[in-house]
Chains A and B, each alone.
Chain A
Amino acid sequence: MTASKDAVQAPLLRVENLGVLLQNEGRVVRVVDAVSFRLKQGETLGIVGESGCGKTLLCRSLLGLLPGCAAVAPDAKAFFDGKDLFRLSESSLNKVRAAGIAMIFQDPLSSLNPVMTIGRQICEPLVHHLGMTARKARSRAVELLHSVGVSGAEQRVDHYPHQMSGGMRQRVAIAIALSCGPKLLIADEPTTALDVTVQAAILDLLMRVQAGSKTGMILVTHDLRVAATRTHEVAVMYAGRIVERISAGALFTHMRVPYTRALVDAIPKMDRPPHAPLHAIEGRPPGPAGAIYGCAFAPRCDRAIEKCRARTPPMRSDRSGRHWYACWNPIQEPAP
């Protein structure tokens, strides 16, 4: 997994100043705010954060899949393949959804139709969007199932989702996502509902698929270890904002933002004896309705200074231009 050789190529996805507004009991709340990032072809961006930090809404907004009470802020931009996703008509957005961007959800049982064979579910986009004949689509479906590691694909195409295990269903969901050859794959907590051994296998599969077809991928996860080992760049989110963007290899050692450090420290370590205390972050994340003055993490942060409570820190980068962080009092020394 090396970075793309062609460093000057235009990014596959460029998101600028993305905000998501949520209507909550008559008031409008900004649940995602000032999110900007870019993603190159063949690269994986990991988005990590605790539940309620806005990572799922962020992904859904890119595909126009927000729930009825939420809307994208008017000044947000997201360029995919040269087109601004937020200014597309419904029909052209449908075209992008079909062939450009595919999404994999956390719970494969609810994303698959329970009364349709998995074969039909894979064939549907093939026939509908790529204009394949039914027979050709079926043989392609078997091929796809085979490529995502479903054994006995010829028989499995006629099975229903409830006849398969969680891991197999997620493989089917991946096969459906890949059916039209997307340029961008958004995986929202794809392994959270699965066992560890299955999780490793599914992540292996996603990495293989992505490296093989030069697809760009956004991997949303709450597990920093998954993000650090399976992506190129990691964006850490807190209370609707990206607080740090860092290359995956440096995530556990060279973080600048105290929140990232606190998350890393809170993970149970394998090299410490039993009963050793963990570094917990006291308090809990602000709710979506909470007013945010200054840095949202300041009340829980042990490095907070006066300025942190007064003004929201902007994103700035270090000298290399690859590591971005939003903190008034960043950590200077690498973690032990």
Chain B
Amino acid sequence: MNPPSEIPPAAGRKSFSEALGESFWLSAIWLVCVIFFAVTADLWPLAEYDHMNWESPAAPPGTEIHAEIPGGGRPVEMKKVSLLGTDTMGRDILARLIFGARTSLAIGLVTPCIGMVIGGLLGMMAGFYRGRTEAVIVAVMDVILAFPGLVFLLAITFILGPGLDHIILALGLLTIPAFTRVARANTLRCARLEFVQSARMLGQSDIGILVQEILPNVIWPMIVYALLVVSYMIVAEGALSFLGLGVPAPTPSWGAMIAEGKEVLDKAPHVSLIPAMVMFLTVLSFNIMGDCLRRAVHPKEEQL
């Protein structure tokens, strides 16, 4: 064993990016790719995602098919190799995947934002003001939690009609109670600490304390939780598509694609498996990023 004099001098503290680890960056690369293609979907020479081709339904990857390429003015029909094959209605899977990413990501990313903003606000108020404010907020959240989520979704689609925005709204409202809890618990923990009292001793107002002292300590746990909710929501969209409550056709979504392929699972498994794989990787990446962030942020919190 080393005698003490040979111990190397203390290395500096690990940087934040080092603390996140490799798996974080691998996940990030995958997600950046998915988001990049979703945003730039219109610029690629892809087949029209809703163009049905009854000559080659459920064609395996690599088959040559007739496809409509949207070009200046009117679509051009031409022969083309379909990289990932076609679905049961002969639509190009690659095109549907990339356009479907828009739907799935919109649901996955926007819903937690609704929950985070509204839930975070309510949770911080409940944890900071306590008393009657807290009692009312907690009671309302308990009611939302007790209400069956599916019935709520059905009611929303029934009243407002089907549509991506209504699904996002409904799912977003359903995530509020969980965010409220995370925000409230973290606010309670912080508000007990003396730095909040010393801010008060400096003449800081309630709003000032909430925004400047408490919010920076609550926001990170919220973001970590939000990343978990993202993957929940992407999966939830898939489940809703199975139940026929998803985004109305022909707009593609990963969940709808998996659902469509279930009839030909024995003959053409790729119709379901390819979107399932993409969804799996995306959800896994969000989860890994959430975990790595929590680990990188947490050691500091333990010093509290």
**B115 CB to nearest A CB, Å:** 37
- Across the interface, do B1 and A292 meet the contact criterion of CB distance under 8 Å? no
- Across the interface, do A293 and B5 meet the contact criterion of CB distance under 8 Å? yes
Q: Is B2 an interface residue (CB 8 A)?
A: yes
Q: Is A271 an interface residue (CB 8 A)?
A: no
Measured between beta carbons, the chain B residues less than 8 angstroms from A27 are: 7-8, 11
- Across the interface, do B1 and A291 meet the contact criterion of CB distance under 8 Å? no
- Across the interface, do B7 and A291 meet the contact criterion of CB distance under 8 Å? yes
In this complex, how many residues of chain A approach chain B with their Cβ under 8 Å: the count is 18
B1-39 near A? 1/0 per residue, CB < 8 Å: 111110111110010000000000000000000000000
Q: Is A25 an interface residue (CB 8 A)?
A: yes
Q: Which residue of B2, B3, B10 is within 8 Å of A290 (Cβ)?
A: B10
Q: Is A281 an interface residue (CB 8 A)?
A: no
- Across the interface, do B5 and A25 meet the contact criterion of CB distance under 8 Å? no
Main secondary structure of the interface of B (DSSP, over half): loop
Q: Is A312 an interface residue (CB 8 A)?
A: yes
A25-61 near B? 1/0 per residue, CB < 8 Å: 1011110010000000000000000000000000000
For the complex, give the distance between the alpha carbons of A19 and B4 in Å.
10
Main secondary structure of the interface of A (DSSP, over half): loop
Number of A-B contacts (CB under 8 A): 38
Q: Which residue of A25, A30, A74 is within 8 Å of B4 (Cβ)?
A: A30
A285-306 near B? 1/0 per residue, CB < 8 Å: 0010111110000000000000
Q: Is A73 an interface residue (CB 8 A)?
A: yes
Measured between beta carbons, the chain A residues less than 8 angstroms from B2 are: 28, 30
* B13 to A, closest residue via Cβ: A25
Measured between beta carbons, the chain B residues less than 8 angstroms from A287 are: 10
* B2 to A, closest residue via Cβ: A28
For the complex, give the distance between the alpha carbons of A73 and B8 in Å.
18
Measured between beta carbons, the chain A residues less than 8 angstroms from B7 are: 27-30, 289, 291-292
| Interface residue ranges, A against B (CB under 8 Å) | 19, 21, 25, 27-30, 33, 73-74, 240, 287, 289-293, 312
| Interface residue ranges, B against A (CB under 8 Å) | 1-5, 7-11, 14
Question: A27-B11, A30-B2, A312-B4 given. 20 additional CB < 8 A pairs?
Answer: A21-B1, A27-B7, A27-B8, A28-B1, A29-B7, A30-B1, A30-B3, A30-B4, A30-B7, A73-B1, A74-B1, A240-B4, A289-B7, A289-B10, A289-B11, A290-B9, A291-B7, A291-B8, A292-B4, A292-B7
8 contacts between A and B (CB under 8 A): A29-B7, A30-B3, A33-B4, A287-B10, A289-B7, A290-B9, A312-B4, A312-B5
